[in-house]
Chain A
Amino acid sequence: MFWVISLIVFPLISGLILLGVRNDFARGIIVKIASAIICLSSVRLLTMHFPRESVFFPAEFIFAGRLMLFFELMMACYIVYKGIKHKRFLTVALASLQTLALVAFEIMFKGKVRADNNLFIDKLSIIMALVIGVIGSLICVYSVGYMRDFHEDYRKEVKDRRRSFNFLQFAFLSAMFGIIFSNNLIWLYFFWEITTVCSFVLIAYKGTEEANNNAFRALELNLLGGLAFVLGIIYLYFSSGFIELDKVVAIGKAGALLPIVLLSFAGLIKSAQLPFSPWLVGAMVAPTPVSALLHSSTMVKAGVYLVLRLAVVLQGTLCGFMIAFIGGTTFLVASFVAISVSDAKKVLAYSTIANLGLIVLCAGIGTYEAVWAGILLIIFHAVAKCLLFLCVGVIEHKVHSRNIEDMSGLIVTMPKISIMMQIGMAGMFLAPFGMLISKWAVLKALVDYNPLLAIFVVFGSSATLFFWVKWMGKLITVTNPSERKENKIAWNQWFPLFALSSLTIIICGFFPLVSQVLIEPYVKEVYGQAVTMSRGNLVIMAIMLAMVMLFPLSFINYGKKVKVVDAYLGGANAYNSTQFYGALGRVRDMEMKNYYLEKYFGERRLIKFGSVLCVISIAIMLAILI
């Protein structure tokens, strides 16, 4: 219990300390020390707990409940103040509504509403803790260097509020640990709301009109989710008389389905499923470490985490099917849309939405195979996507553009970064790396359950292939050689990048171990049976990984036994490979641009189409239940 509580409290304390330190250098050191401690404690948690079954802690503190209520009111006041200041009355209404509902509920049943066990830890929370602890702390280290550069770039436009930035980052980590260790749903809701507020403040960090608007959009949708969450808790208490997560799962289908659906609804919004996806795309205005931490690797995972927890109850119900349908549609639409956008962060955002959709699809199906695949997806996606975000952050600072078309020749100008990006991309879609293992598992799970749902995965993953490869190709295409731009990147940015690239490969190599030690026991605990990849296939995957790793070796032969010539430019080359004689003998530069197929995969049209489908399925879900 000590480790659980300290993981929740320690980041918050470090955040508070950081709030008080004015010196940039000292703050940098504190961030690094605190991150190291968080990272190591989450690993310690693993080594201590993995042989055991789930453990529940009463963790009854006299003031905990009141303190939380107090902070909830404070947060509501803050949101209401912000809402009135920016004339966002929908925000005000939603925030007051949910807070009033919760306060009224707690006052009405004062003392009666209590949980036997407030905290718990099981294999799934350990997995999540590792994701948050390891990746979260790496991002915190990265952001020290990144934010310094960021404020150099935007010295005039953006006010330097790095202290509150650091504080929010660490407070956010606390809240994430809170979410995954809470068994009491009211506690879970409390931490859930903290992440919403952190996300709101961090999206608005730049203080521009666009940033504010996007922050409010994110806030409004997440408050809607919060409202559903509160209603879910209240309904659960009225119908079943308890508010604990483990009991919800334990009584399963014997209980009422409505609260489960309401909680899943909150999860769907948090993980940006259609029709709520636009908030996540808008959130990309935030500084890159925020996008990496909140909007791809951890916070949005809280949503799918909750739905995955409830998967066993959703299994086989029509509501579960509808949730799976929403996830599938989101995966398909977001993957298609990612083809047509050229802003690197937007592509990453859509790919994140797509992968969250895939996890929701797994959770909605809720069979043991699907849940196994879903948890795998969480792990692999967190690592690879975080790496990609951090790389794009560096590139944006050096190239002053986020457009993929401006990234050609990066293999020459920024070789290390571009190789890391390729590792990250390979991790996202290529055999034998992580996401592909998961996709294999998802396909198997789907075919056993209902092959009709496979249509989403099949078409979606073809699209995934297209947009990743064309980006990868852009990185290695060299048109006009220019000088290196990689020097002057601080080591506190290099270190997380190296660590994440190695993690992407290592996790892939050690995936059988991860599966055996953590995921299978969890699935077995919940379903009584587990699934795994057969030994033969594991060997094949390992051989493939080894072969791919041999690829860099071929560079030993670099430039040997070949004759370098100019590229073929229709026989009209002028001077070199990149210029040619055009009409009237004028020398022109060659240009190469990727396909974006906007006519077929246009953003606006597809999102509208997907949203309509998903709204219909939500309506069906509600119609069944009410």
Chain B
Amino acid sequence: MKVLILILAYLFLAPLVGGLLSGIDRKISARMQGRIGPPLLQPFYDILKLMEKETLVVRRSQNFYILFFLIFMIFTGCLFFTGGDILLVIFALTLAGIFFILAAYKASSPYSFLGAQRELLQSMSYEPIVIFSAIGMYMVTKSFYVFEIISFKTPLVYYLPGLLFCFIFILPMKLRKSPFDLAASLHAHQELVSGITTEFSGKALAMIEVAHWYENVLVMGFIYLFFAATPVIAIGMTLAIYFLVVLIDNTFARVKWQTALKSCWITAIVAGMGNIIFLFFMAR
């Protein structure tokens, strides 16, 4: 019963929170750039408008992959917010991401193809850090289950500062922001057009957008885990980190994929693995 309520709450609240976060992001970004910016609810208006548009496709089956991207993204979130096994959450998230990438491949247009390749490269770049975080949390709490991880008495960040740093490092990648907005960009970019989403329109684009909201909430949930022992501080920290990412988005230029891959893996090895090694020898 409790699980059912959690799932329902997640289904309705996550897009709401995700959309609001996106609205706040756009507002703050605009202020940082000296503009007034769109109304707070603009992301929702966008979705409503997209729903009414005609659906154009290049290949007739490309949108099926998008539908499954959305479905699996929601499924992943349900797994996470009902306290499931964090490794399974990560694997399900990967599965969802792969549907998105395959959709872009399927569209068979050079820009979406390029976007798909880069998105894939980014998954390869951040995947180690996400799994290291799960391993780190297991080493501290002795459990892979989210519900046991949040009920741990001291904030995990005391034990896992390196991993938190890693996670913040890849956050722009997961939230599709500069300096790692290689695969898809909201802003005009010559070589990429809009990358992975180039060939999607109408309802399909709306689905992608909503799936991203779900994903953003899930990713911020991950950040929450690092502070979960004190919920109020945890929510504050999560929002603060979101603000930090928006700030980074507005201050950094986009990097090349080589830099993205190298920097992610080096961070993973130095800060992530370093943190785990430290924990391992402390535990002895």
- CB-based contact B88/A440 at 8 Å: yes
- CB-based contact B127/A461 at 8 Å: yes
Distance A473 CA – B112 CA, assembled complex (angstroms): 12
Distance A479 CA – B113 CA, assembled complex (angstroms): 11
Question: Which residues of B have CB within 8 Å of A470?
Answer: 117, 120
- CB-based contact A477/B60 at 8 Å: no
Nearest CB in chain B: distance from A242 CB, A: 38
- CB-based contact A567/B88 at 8 Å: no
Nearest 9 Cβ contacts at the A-B interface: A567-B109, A473-B105, A431-B91, A554-B64, A462-B127, A559-B60, A466-B124, A567-B58, A562-B57
16 A–B contacts, CB within 8 A, in A order: A431-B88, A440-B87, A440-B91, A454-B135, A455-B269, A458-B131, A465-B123, A466-B120, A537-B85, A540-B88, A554-B67, A558-B60, A563-B55, A566-B58, A577-B109, A592-B108
Q: Which one of B56, B85, B135 contacts A565 once the chains associate, using CB atoms below 8 Å?
A: B56
Interface string of B99-121 (1 = CB under 8 A from A): 00110011111111100110011
Distance A430 CA – B72 CA, assembled complex (angstroms): 13
Known interface pairs A431-B88, A459-B265, A577-B109; A565-B58 also in contact (CB < 8 Å) = yes
Question: Which residues of A have CB within 8 Å of B120?
Answer: 465-466, 469-470, 473, 595
Question: Which residues of A have CB within 8 Å of B185?
Answer: none
Of B54, B64, B280, the most chain A CB neighbours within 10 A belong to: B64
Stretch of A29-37, A58-66, A298-306, A444-452 contacting B (4+ beta carbons < 8 Å): A444-452
| Chain B 36-64 residues near chain A, CB threshold 8 A | 54-61, 63-64
| Chain B 78-93 residues near chain A, CB threshold 8 A | 79, 84-85, 87-88, 91-92
Distance A242 CA – B106 CA, assembled complex (angstroms): 61
Question: Which residues of B have CB within 8 Å of A536?
Answer: 84-85
Distance A430 CA – B92 CA, assembled complex (angstroms): 9
Distance A577 CA – B87 CA, assembled complex (angstroms): 41
Question: Which residues of B have CB within 8 Å of A476?
Answer: 102, 105-106
Known interface pairs A478-B108, A595-B121; A462-B139 also in contact (CB < 8 Å) = no
| Chain A 138-187 residues near chain B, CB threshold 8 A | none
Question: Which residues of B have CB within 8 Å of A469?
Answer: 98, 101-102, 120
Distance A474 CA – B265 CA, assembled complex (angstroms): 26
- CB-based contact A477/B113 at 8 Å: yes
Known interface pairs A473-B102, A476-B105, A563-B55; A443-B131 also in contact (CB < 8 Å) = yes
Of B60, B63, B110, B198, the most chain A CB neighbours within 10 A belong to: B110
- CB-based contact B92/A431 at 8 Å: yes
- CB-based contact A551/B124 at 8 Å: no
Question: Which residues of B have CB within 8 Å of A443?
Answer: 87, 131, 135
Known interface pairs A431-B91, A540-B79; A472-B108 also in contact (CB < 8 Å) = no
- CB-based contact B68/A478 at 8 Å: no
| Chain B 246-266 residues near chain A, CB threshold 8 A | 261, 265
Question: Which residues of A have CB within 8 Å of B57?
Answer: 562-565
Distance A567 CA – B108 CA, assembled complex (angstroms): 7
- CB-based contact A567/B67 at 8 Å: no
Question: Does any Cβ of A come within 8 Å of B132's Cβ?
Answer: yes
- CB-based contact B63/A562 at 8 Å: yes
- CB-based contact A477/B106 at 8 Å: yes
Question: Does any Cβ of A come within 8 Å of B193's Cβ?
Answer: yes
Known interface pairs A565-B56, A590-B110; A465-B92 also in contact (CB < 8 Å) = no
Nearest CB in chain A: distance from B226 CB, A: 18
Closest Cβ neighbor of A594 among chain B residues: B117
Nearest CB in chain B: distance from A332 CB, A: 11
Distance A565 CA – B60 CA, assembled complex (angstroms): 10
Interface string of A470-514 (1 = CB under 8 A from B): 101110111100000000000000000000000000000000000
Question: Which residues of B have CB within 8 Å of A594?
Answer: 117
Question: Which residues of A have CB within 8 Å of B261?
Answer: 600
Interface string of A510-548 (1 = CB under 8 A from B): 000000000000000000000000101100110110011
Distance A547 CA – B54 CA, assembled complex (angstroms): 28
- CB-based contact A451/B276 at 8 Å: yes
Question: Which residues of B have CB within 8 Å of A462?
Answer: 123-125, 127-128
Chain B contact-residue range equals 35 or more
- CB-based contact B280/A563 at 8 Å: no
Distance A459 CA – B59 CA, assembled complex (angstroms): 34
Question: Which residues of B have CB within 8 Å of A479?
Answer: 108
Beyond A454-B135, A577-B108, list 9 extra A-B contacts (CB 8 Å). A440-B87, A447-B139, A452-B276, A473-B120, A476-B106, A479-B108, A544-B95, A547-B72, A567-B110
Distance A450 CA – B280 CA, assembled complex (angstroms): 8
Q: Which one of B92, B127, B131 contacts A544 once the chains associate, using CB atoms below 8 Å?
A: B92
- CB-based contact B116/A540 at 8 Å: no
Question: Which residues of B have CB within 8 Å of A557?
Answer: 64
Distance A554 CA – B144 CA, assembled complex (angstroms): 34
Distance A477 CA – B277 CA, assembled complex (angstroms): 43
Question: Does any Cβ of B come within 8 Å of A568's Cβ?
Answer: yes
Question: Does any Cβ of B come within 8 Å of A75's Cβ?
Answer: no
- CB-based contact B61/A555 at 8 Å: yes
Distance A432 CA – B75 CA, assembled complex (angstroms): 13
- CB-based contact A463/B124 at 8 Å: yes
Question: Does any Cβ of B come within 8 Å of A569's Cβ?
Answer: yes
Question: Which residues of A have CB within 8 Å of B150?
Answer: none
Nearest CB in chain B: distance from A462 CB, A: 4
Closest Cβ neighbor of A443 among chain B residues: B87
- CB-based contact A568/B127 at 8 Å: no
Question: Does any Cβ of B come within 8 Å of A621's Cβ?
Answer: no
- CB-based contact A458/B109 at 8 Å: no
Distance A452 CA – B64 CA, assembled complex (angstroms): 40
Closest Cβ neighbor of B101 among chain A residues: A469
Closest Cβ neighbor of A461 among chain B residues: B127
Distance A559 CA – B131 CA, assembled complex (angstroms): 39
Nearest CB in chain B: distance from A570 CB, A: 8
Closest Cβ neighbor of A553 among chain B residues: B64
Question: Which residues of B have CB within 8 Å of A400?
Answer: none
Question: Does any Cβ of A come within 8 Å of B94's Cβ?
Answer: yes
Question: Which residues of A have CB within 8 Å of B95?
Answer: 430-432, 544, 548
